[in-house]
């Protein structure tokens, strides 16, 4: 009776041993699967982060370049309004918009690639050049003046004084000469016509010669010659200012055009960078999926192999015990088993013997 109870106890222990080994095998398979899944999940999350970073940077670059373009456009509009009206509010608007352009450059410089940083630096330098050129033009515009102030007003007043003196001479030829001079003056001031300036260079000496020949008082002739010289001095000074304004406008207008070109290059380079990065991200994603698939197959293969190995290892001593039991049942009491598993199955074999 005691022998039977001992055998039953050992059978129960054998069942627990088999169950533990199956659990260990299952734990091994799950561990390998978790490792493979964790590696794959890490790769996918990393790929997702990279894609998100590319999208964010692309949007930020586009937004920054759009702000640069918009502010440059507004600065050029304000500059034209200032040239037409001389209103200082437009000069202030130009300065503010160009400051916004430089701020956009600083933003681009903070996260762009090496090429993009170079472009942003160039835009910043061109923005400074634009501002310097416009400030010089604004200074000349203020010197020219508007209304009853500045060089324009002085030239107009000098012309009126010259007309009064000519009227006092009561000489028709001098009136004709002055009429032609004033017509050329208006043509140049309105249209910046170079031909009008050339005509003035010829008309003024001719007018002086006619003054010298005219039968008028010496004092009036002297006043008229001084007035002509004063008017011509003011006109030449005004023409020099206009030439300087046009030259400076050409310089900072070219700077504005170069800024637009650089902005277009940054946008183009950013699109190429985004496409290349997206392609690399897609390849990494595919590689991650491939690696996950391979690792899962390896885990399945290892788990299947371990299961087969464990099943054989567990079934062999049980088969031996079953065979020996059948021999005993047939009356062969000399049958023995030789089991070395180091567990309850080995104890069961010893008890059987």
Q: How far apart are CA 245 and CA 83, in angstroms?
A: 10
| pLDDT at position 315 | 62
Q: In this structure, what DSSP letter does residue 147 have? A: T
Q: How many other CB atoms sit within 10 Å of the CB of residue 209? A: 11
pLDDT at residue 317 tops 90: no
DSSP reduced 3-state for 214: coil
Query: Which comes out higher in pLDDT, residue 79 or 335?
Result: 79
Q: What is the pLDDT of residues 185-238, one digit of tens each?
A: 999 988 888 899 999 999 999 999 999 999 999 999 999 999 999 999 999 999
- 30-143+264-298, what's its fold? de novo design (two linked rop proteins) (1.20.1440)
| Percent of the chain clearing pLDDT 70 (strictly above) | 66
Instruction: Tell me where in the chain the CATH 1.20.1440 domain(s) lie.
Output: 30-143+264-298, 150-244
pLDDT at 324 over 70: no
Continuous segment of H or E residues that includes residue 308: helix 218-329
Decide if pLDDT at 57 tops 60. yes
Placement of tokens 């324009």 in the chain: 152
> Which of 224-233, 251-260, 272-281 shows the lowest per-residue confidence on average (mean pLDDT)?
272-281
Least confident of 106-115, 124-133, 153-162, 269-278: 106-115
Asked if pLDDT for residue 5 goes beyond 60, the answer is no
- Report the C-alpha gap between 108 and 116 in whole angstroms: 7
pLDDT at 303 over 70: no
Which numeric CATH code is attached to 150-244? 1.20.1440
pLDDT of residue 113: 57
pLDDT digits (tens, 9 = 90+) for 58-103: 778 788 888 888 999 999 999 999 988 888 999 999 999 999 998 8
The pLDDT of 128-140, averaged and rounded, is 93
User: Average pLDDT, whole number, for the chain?
Assistant: 79
| Lookup result for tokens 């000074």 | 237
**Greater model confidence, 120 or 75:** 75
């Amino acid at each position: 009776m005691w022998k039977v109870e001992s055998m039953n106890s050992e059978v129960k222990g054998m069942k627990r041993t088999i169950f533990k080994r199956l659990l260990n095998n299952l734990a091994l398979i799950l561990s390998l699967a978790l490792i493979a899944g964790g590696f794959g999940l890490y790769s996918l999350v990393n790929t997702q982060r990279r894609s998100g970073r590319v999208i964010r940077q692309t949007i930020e670059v586009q937004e920054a370049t759009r702000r640069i373009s918009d502010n440059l456009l507004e600065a050029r509009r304000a500059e034209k309004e200032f040239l037409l009206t001389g209103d200082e509010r437009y000069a202030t608007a130009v300065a503010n918009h160009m400051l916004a352009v430089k701020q956009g450059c600083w933003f681009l410089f903070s996260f762009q690639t090496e090429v993009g940083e170079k472009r942003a630096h160039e835009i910043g330098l061109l923005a400074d050049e634009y501002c310097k050129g416009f400030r010089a033009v604004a200074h000349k515009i203020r010197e020219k003046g508007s209304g009853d102030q500045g060089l324009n007003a002085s030239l107009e007043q000098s012309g009126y004084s010259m007309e009064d003196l000519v009227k006092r001479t009561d000489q028709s030829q001098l009136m004709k000469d002055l009429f032609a001079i004033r017509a050329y003056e208006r043509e140049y001031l309105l249209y910046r016509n170079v031909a009008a300036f050339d005509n003035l260079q010829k008309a003024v000496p001719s007018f002086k010669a006619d003054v010298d020949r005219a039968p008028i008082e010496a004092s009036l002739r002297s006043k008229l010659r001084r007035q002509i010289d004063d008017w011509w001095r003011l006109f030449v000074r005004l023409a020099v200012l206009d030439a300087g304004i046009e030259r400076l406008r050409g310089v900072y207008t070219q700077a504005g055009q170069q800024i637009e070109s650089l902005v277009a290059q940054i946008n183009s380079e950013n699109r190429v960078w985004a496409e290349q990065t997206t392609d690399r991200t897609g390849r990494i994603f595919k590689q991650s999926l491939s690696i996950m698939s391979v690792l899962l197959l390896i885990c399945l293969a290892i788990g299947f192999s371990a299961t087969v190995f464990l099943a054989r290892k567990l079934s062999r001593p049980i088969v031996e015990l079953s065979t020996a039991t059948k021999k005993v049942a047939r009356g062969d009491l000399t049958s023995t088993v030789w089991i070395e598993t180091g567990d309850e199955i080995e104890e069961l074999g010893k008890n059987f013997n």
